[in-house]
C-alpha cells in the first residue's frame, strides 16, 4: 500500500534534497528511505541514499542502494562510479573491482578508474594484479605522475628497474601539473630508497613536501591548531571525574582501540589483533572520535564545554550512535578493532562511555615516526603537519603532552606498546597485545602477514610482510638531512 504522502513524490524529493544540502544528512537519509519504501525503484532516491550513506559511513547500505540504481540505470557513469567507491569502502573487493572494470571499459582514456582499481587491489593484498593495472595505465598515459606514485606504493623497486629511469626522465623533461609533480617526487624518493640510492632520496623528498605545503589553503597553521587542541582538551579533562564510568558496560560491544601517531606502527598492531578468530578488523573507523569532538567542543571557533555540563543522556546518544553505525558498517561478534589514531585524545572519555573497551597505544621513536611521515603522502586534508620538520616535532610534543596527562589521570585505562619492542620480540609482544585485548592467545596471530583482510592505510604493503627490523633506527641513514627535525625535537624536549 502506498502511503498517502507518497502520492506527492516530487515534494518529498525536494524536502529530502533540501535536508541534504542543509547538512542534515541523517534526516535526509531517513526521508529517502521512506520514499523507497513506497517507490522502491526511484533511482534518484537510491543514488542519494548511496551518497549520504557514504558520508555517514553506512557503507553496506550505500553499496546496496547504488547496486540497485546501477541495475535500473546501467549507463549512468556517475552512479557506477559511486557504486564502485561504496563497495570499496564496504570491503567488498570483488564487487568494487567489477564496477571499476565496467568504468574502464566505458571510459578507456580516463585514468581515474584504473588508478582506483590498482589501489583497491593493493589494499586487498593482490599486488601483482594491482601492478598489472597500474602499468597498463602508465602505458596509456606515461606522463601522469600520480600513476607512478600509485604503482611504487605497492612494490619494492630493484636497482636498475626501467621504471626508475622512466620517472627520472619525466621529472627532468616535463613540466607536470602541480599535484602530479608532487606525486612524482614522492614516487622518486621511494624509488631511490628502494634501490639503495640513499643520497638521492632527500632532494626528491624536500621537493615533494615543499610542493605539498604550497598547495595547502592560505592561513593553514598546524602548530597553532595543535597547541589549541591539546591545551583545550587537557583543560577540559582535568576537571572530569573518570573514577566511575558514566554508563554500564554493553556486553554486546567490546571494541579494541588502537591509537598513537601516524606511522608509529598502529596498522601492524591492528593486523596482529585482527588475526585473532574473535576479532574483526575495523581499520580507521573514524566514528567515535568525531562524535566525541562534537560532544566536548561543539563550537569549533570557541572553547570546549565544561565537563560537568555534559548530561548522561548525551553520553548515551554518542554510544548508541557509535554502536549503531558500527553494526551498519561491519559484520562482527563482540570484538572489533578501531584504529582511529585520534582516539588517544579522548582515552578517559572513551572508557567513561565504553567501560569494557580496550585501548592500546603504540609508541615509536620520534625520529623514525617523523621520517616515516615526511616520506609519505597522506590523504589530502589529513595530517597537514607532516610536510614540515618544525610542525612534525611540535605534533609529536603535543602527543607526548597529552599522553603524559592520561598516564597521570587514568593510568589503568590503556596499555602501551613500544614499536621497537614489538619488532625485537614479536612473539612475546604479540602475546601481550592479545592479553591486553582481553582474549586468549592464538598462534595464528603470529601469521598476521597472511591475513587477507583489506588494509586501507599507507602500510598496506608492509603488513603483508613478516616483521622486519630495517624500520628501526631508519632515521640514522639520513641523520644529516634530518638535523632540522632532530633539533626541533630537542627544543620541544622530546629527545
| Spatial separation of the C-alpha atoms in residues 454 and 493, rounded to whole Å | 38
Q: Which CATH architecture has domain 228-465?
A: 3-Layer(aba) Sandwich (3.40)
What are the start and end residues of each CATH 3.40.50.300 domain in the chain?
228-465
Residue 461 has pLDDT above 60, yes or no: no
Average pLDDT over residues 220-245: 95
CATH number of 1-119: 1.25.40.10
Greatest mean pLDDT range, 55-69, 251-265, 450-464? 251-265
Span between the terminal Cα atoms of the chain, in Å: 70
Average pLDDT over residues 112-125: 92
Residue 1 has pLDDT above 50, yes or no: no
What are the start and end residues of each CATH 1.25.40.10 domain in the chain?
1-119
Work out the pLDDT band at 454, boundaries 50, 70, 90. low
Q: What is the pLDDT of residues 281-340, one digit of tens each?
A: 999 888 899 999 999 999 888 889 999 999 999 999 999 999 988 887 888 999 999 999
Work out the pLDDT band at 164, boundaries 50, 70, 90. very high
Average pLDDT over residues 121-144: 92
pLDDT of residue 287: 86
pTM above 0.85, yes or no: yes
pLDDT of residue 215: 94
DSSP H helices, 2-144, are 9-21, 25-38, 43-55, 59-72, 77-89, 93-106, 111-123, 127-140
User: What does 20-52 look like in DSSP terms, one character per residue?
Assistant: HHTT-HHHHHHHHHHHHHH-TT-HHHHHHHHHH
Amino acid at each position: 500500500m502506498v502511503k498517502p504522502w507518497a502520492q506527492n513524490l516530487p515534494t518529498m524529493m525536494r524536502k529530502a534534497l533540501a535536508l541534504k544540502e542543509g547538512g542534515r544528512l541523517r534526516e535526509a537519509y531517513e526521508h529517502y528511505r521512506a520514499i523507497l519504501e513506497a517507490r522502491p525503484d526511484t533511482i534518484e532516491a537510491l543514488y542519494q541514499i548511496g551518497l549520504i550513506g557514504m558520508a555517514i559511513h553506512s557503507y553496506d547500505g550505500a553499496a546496496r542502494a547504488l547496486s540497485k540504481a546501477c541495475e535500473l540505470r546501467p549507463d549512468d557513469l556517475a552512479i557506477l562510479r559511486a557504486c564502485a567507491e561504496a563497495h570499496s569502502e564496504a570491503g567488498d573487493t570483488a564487487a568494487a573491482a567489477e564496477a571499476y572494470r565496467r568504468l574502464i571499459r566505458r571510459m578507456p582514456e580516463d585514468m581515474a578508474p584504473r588508478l582506483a582499481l590498482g589501489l583497491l587491489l593493493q589494499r586487498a593484498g593482490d599486488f601483482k594484479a594491482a601492478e598489472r593495472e597500474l602499468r597498463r595505465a602508465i602505458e596509456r598515459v606515461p606522463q601522469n605522475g600520480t600513476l607512478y606514485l600509485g604503482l611504487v606504493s605497492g612494490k619494492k623497486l630493484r636497482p636498475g628497474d626501467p621504471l626508475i629511469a622512466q620517472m627520472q626522465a619525466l621529472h627532468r623533461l616535463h613540466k607536470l601539473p602541480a599535484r602530479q609533480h608532487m606525486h612524482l617526487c614522492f614516487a622518486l624518493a621511494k624509488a631511490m630508497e628502494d634501490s639503495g640510492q640513499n643520497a638521492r632520496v632527500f632532494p626528491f623528498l624536500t621537493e615533494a613536501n615543499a610542493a605539498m605545503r604550497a598547495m595547502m589553503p592560505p592561513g593553514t597553521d598546524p602548530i597553532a591548531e595543535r597547541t589549541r587542541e591539546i591545551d583545550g582538551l587537557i583543560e577540559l579533562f582535568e576537571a572530569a571525574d573518570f573514577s566511575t564510568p558514566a554508563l554500564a558496560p554493553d556486553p554486546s560491544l567490546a571494541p579494541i582501540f588502537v591509537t598513537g601517531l601516524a606511522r608509529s606502527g598502529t596498522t601492524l598492531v591492528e593486523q596482529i589483533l585482527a588475526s585473532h578468530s574473535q576479532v574483526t578488523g575495523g581499520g580507521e573507523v573514524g566514528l567515535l572520535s568525531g562524535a566525541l569532538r562534537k560532544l566536548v567542543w561543539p563550537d569549533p571557533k570557541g572553547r570546549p564545554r565544561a565537563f560537568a555540563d555534559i548530561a548522561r543522556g548525551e553520553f548515551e546518544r554518542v554510544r548508541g550512535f557509535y554502536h549503531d553505525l558500527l553494526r551498519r558498517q561491519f559484520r562482527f561478534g563482540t570484538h572489533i578493532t578501531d584504529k582511529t589514531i585520534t582516539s588517544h585524545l579522548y582515552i578517559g572519555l572513551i572508557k567513561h562511555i565504553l567501560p569494557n573497551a580496550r585501548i592500546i597505544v603504540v609508541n615509536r621513536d620520534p625520529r623514525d615516526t617523523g621520517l616515516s611521515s615526511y616520506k609519505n603522502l597522506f590523504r589530502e586534508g589529513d595530517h597537514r603537519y607532516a610536510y614540515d620538520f618544525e610542525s612534525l616535532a611540535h605534533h609529536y610534543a603535543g602527543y607526548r603532552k597529552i599522553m603524559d596527562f592520561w598516564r597521570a589521570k587514568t593510568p589503568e585505562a590503556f596499555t602501551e606498546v613500544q614499536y621497537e619492542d614489538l619488532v625485537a620480540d614479536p612473539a612475546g609482544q604479540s602475546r601481550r597485545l592479545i592479553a591486553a585485548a582481553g582474549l586468549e592467545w592464538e598462534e595464528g596471530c603470529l601469521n598476521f602477514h597472511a591475513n587477507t583482510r583489506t588494509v586501507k592505510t599507507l602500510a598496506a604493503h608492509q603488513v603483508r610482510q613478516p616483521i622486519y627490523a630495517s624500520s628501526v633506527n631508519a632515521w640514522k641513514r639520513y641523520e644529516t638531512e634530518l638535523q632540522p627535525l632532530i633539533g626541533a625535537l630537542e627544543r620541544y624536549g622530546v629527545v
